Structure 1
Amino acid sequence: MPRLALVSIGIRRDLLAPLRYISKFELLHFYRRSVYGDLTVEDLDATLRAYSSPLDLYQQLVRAKPAVIQGVEPFSYYTQPYLWACYCAARKTDAALLVATLENRPLEVKFGNARAFVLRKFLSWYFQRACLILVLNQGARENVLACGGETVQVQSAMWGVWGVDIQEFFPRVARDPNMPPTILFAGRLHPEKGVFVLLDAFAAVHARLPHARLVLVGEGPARNLLEQKIRQQNLALAITLTGVIKHREMVNLFHQADVFCAPSITTRQWAEQVGAAALQAMACGIPIVSTRSGAIPEYIPDGAAGILVEEQNAPALADALLNLLTNPQRASEMGQRGRAYACLHYDAHANVQRGETLVLEHCVKRNAHRL
């Protein structure tokens, strides 16, 4: 069985757990750190290898002698030393080089012309030596092609972000009739995640539905200011900030929610790349209210599984939330369609199997690397 080395900077449970479905390769997963602290002892297994530096990564990869090496996200200056370590190890061991990327911001916009030019020059060379490039959204595909990635070796696949475990994330049996109308947000408490727009939208929702509740899951740099604004708007009794919740416990919060809201905002540096929490909500049969930031329209069918509104538009966000909170029949039907769509497109088990087949065909059977 060929050995596959996956290299990550950070790991978290929703991205780590589906790796147990890999069956066509002997897996080794190299990582720098656990970024969310949501892993328990039972989540860690013998496939994991921590590394401390690019040199340490290179040395461990060479000792492992994998058939395929997947490097880290390429469209980042921070990751370049680790990317170089992956390339050098692939050359040393004659391993095939695999690329996976979800970065969807145009390089000139994110980095400026000069830095984008330098990054593109290096990545053009790097991509030409890859056996396969897997992209998770259209923006990532455009970035790859702008760096000279050959069309024939670029494939769309949920690889790295695998989707959702549809057995672990499932619809609730019935709604608790005593539960107040509840909106759920899960993500970084950061302006680019739209938390302040959501707060303004919820104020309008609460004015119409005084018993409505908002649950904010996560931590981030905006927490203190968010708490201050919540107090200023006299919404402290209606809004709960839970802090970080372990991934395996999120299904309970989805079962207590009527709507999941992801009001992401595109910035120069960032746009939504997949939206893993929204996929989990869909798998739980919860309708989505979100924006058209980045790849969100690629993953959430507007009008079927959710309602998409323009970014930074609190009145439109409030209208969409009220539309679903006051129309439980529509919300239920939308949630059912979302569950069906998630099972068809975002089943992590199926996505791992599809991705494995691609990697096996392009990187092992064809021995397509050009180092």
Structure 2
Amino acid sequence: MTRVLHVLDHSLPMHSGYTFRTRAILKAQAAMGLEVRAVTGQRHTAPMPSDPEVVDGLTFYRAGGTAGGLPLVREWSEVAMLAERIVAIAREWRPDVLHAHSPALCGLAALRAGRKLGIPVVYEIRAFWEDAAVGNGTGREGSARYWLTRVLENDVVSGANRVVTICEGLRADLIARGFAPEKLSIMPNGVDLDLFGEPLPRDAGLANELGLGEGPVIGFLGSFYPYEGLDDLIAAMPAIVARVPDARLLMVGGGPAEADLRAQAQASAVADAIRFVGRVPHHEVDRYYSLVDVVCYPRKAMRLTDLVSPLKPLEAMAQGKLVSASDVGGHRELIEHGRTGTLFPPDDPAGLATALADLLGSRDGWHTRREVAKAFVRERHDWAGNVRRYLPVYQALLPNHELPSVAA
């Protein structure tokens, strides 16, 4: 059986979009017939009761230690520690391929270990982390740190045997940098339909507790980062309520922008129509999804959102929810306007308000659009099928191995 060791920034039991994508990949690969394990670097900060640690039936090794020290020295120390751990694991478990996931530090560690062991390396890019830092408000485009991160990314892409990106935007950007198209593959975001395929009925008790009335309810469930454009959604609410008086906005989650968003909502002329819930346990998210008619993703227009397609809209479609989103590149890869969702101009509260009020006011097509969107996820973004896209990548590096059939 072919063995794949995944190299990660962090993993379960920590909760993030990164860890949930990882869980889905590992679970689907194991179900397909591959033997998979994973190792995390020093950015994994959850308590580690054992090493290896089994979480949700998956085996994770830990590099151990704590990231610290001066910049650059700290990062190189992280890479060295992770590379040493990969080598130790590989000498015991004997993986056939190292599959590293961004950021570039994981890729650098895998390359160092792969050269020492003579094992091929696949590098998977989920986002360009210099652009993610700009979007999160922790970095500045054009800064020395920004360009150093890009240089490191380019070095990893050059050194890896094959490279996978999560969407066409990232792949096209790498091709524009001069990398060979045949080296680059796409593994799009997906949904584990065993988890998201059966939405709960509307939780009337929870709706009453939150004072949502009968709605309709617009919702956002996720992390509150500046690039998500949630300030534009709050700014649009007075115009939406003017046309749809019973409309309510439900905000579930938290993050760096939370305090500013709460203050903006409190000052809104329709403050009574906006509800903040805060973060909720992952196993309760479905209850809050059950209250929402339209899930809205008003991301700002910037490199990050134009190049990277998010996971959340696919989860919402799988939940049978209407999806609305700003017309940026990452959303256009997932949403066909008027068919699987509604697109509106980015950075434009008035345009957002018009699009959502029009959607809320025309319920006749809701059922059809929900069914079309669910079918789109089932046919093109179910992890059970998506994960087979890795097989040609692995097979090119392991020509003498018998891998599961791509068409199975």
Q: TM-score normalised to the size of structure 1? A: 0.84
Q: Does 1:87 align with 2:111?
A: yes
Q: Does 1:21 align with 2:28?
A: yes
Q: 1:51 aligns with which of 50, 53, 63?
A: 63
Q: Does 1:127 align with 2:157?
A: yes
Q: 1:116 to 1:192 in 2, by over 3 A?
A: closer
1:280 Cα deviation from its structure 2 partner: 0.5
Aligned partner of residue 87 in structure 1, secondary structure: helix
Q: 1:290 to 1:104 in 2, by over 3 A?
A: farther
Q: Does 1:213 align with 2:238?
A: no
1:173 Cα deviation from its structure 2 partner: 7.4
> Residue 277 of structure 2 corresponds to which residue in structure 1?
242
Q: 1:145 to 1:360 in 2, by over 3 A?
A: same
One-letter amino acid of the counterpart of residue 133, structure 1: V
Unaligned runs of 5+ in 2: 48-52, 65-77, 135-139, 205-212, 402-408
1:260 Cα deviation from its structure 2 partner: 0.6
Give, in whole Å, the separation in 1 of the partners of 2:143 and 2:248: 45
1:62 Cα deviation from its structure 2 partner: 0.3
CA contact (8 A) 2:130 2:150 kept: no
Q: TM-score normalised to the size of structure 2? A: 0.77
Q: Does 1:137 align with 2:167?
A: yes
Aligned partner of residue 194 in structure 2, secondary structure: coil
Q: 1:196 to 1:71 in 2, by over 3 A?
A: same
One-letter amino acid of the counterpart of residue 21, structure 2: L
Q: 1:173 to 1:120 in 2, by over 3 A?
A: closer
One-letter amino acid of the counterpart of residue 62, structure 2: A
Give, in whole Å, the separation in 2 of the partners of 1:86 and 1:243: 37
Give, in whole Å, the separation in 1 of the partners of 2:362 and 2:102: 42
Aligned partner of residue 193 in structure 2, secondary structure: coil
Give, in whole Å, the separation in 1 of the partners of 2:292 and 2:143: 44
Aligned partner of residue 308 in structure 1, secondary structure: strand
> Residue 360 of structure 1 corresponds to which residue in structure 2?
394
1:259 Cα deviation from its structure 2 partner: 0.4
Q: 1:236 to 1:106 in 2, by over 3 A?
A: closer
1:196-235 mapped onto 2 (5 Å cutoff): 196-235=231-270
Give, in whole Å, the separation in 2 of the partners of 1:46 and 1:348: 16
CA contact (8 A) 2:237 2:270 kept: no
Q: 1:233 to 1:112 in 2, by over 3 A?
A: closer
CA contact (8 A) 2:38 2:59 kept: yes
Aligned partner of residue 398 in structure 2, secondary structure: helix
Report the more deviating stretch, 243-252 or 310-319.
243-252
> Residue 377 of structure 2 corresponds to which residue in structure 1?
342
What is the aligned-residue identity percentage? 25
Report the more deviating stretch, 65-74 or 330-339.
65-74
Q: How many residues were matched structurally?
A: 354
CA contact (8 A) 1:264 1:271 kept: no
Q: 1:305 to 1:87 in 2, by over 3 A?
A: same
CA contact (8 A) 1:54 1:85 kept: yes
Unaligned runs of 5+ in 1: none
Give, in whole Å, the separation in 2 of the partners of 1:126 and 1:172: 40
1:212-232: CA deviation from partner (whole Å, max 9, x where unpaired): 211111111221121112121
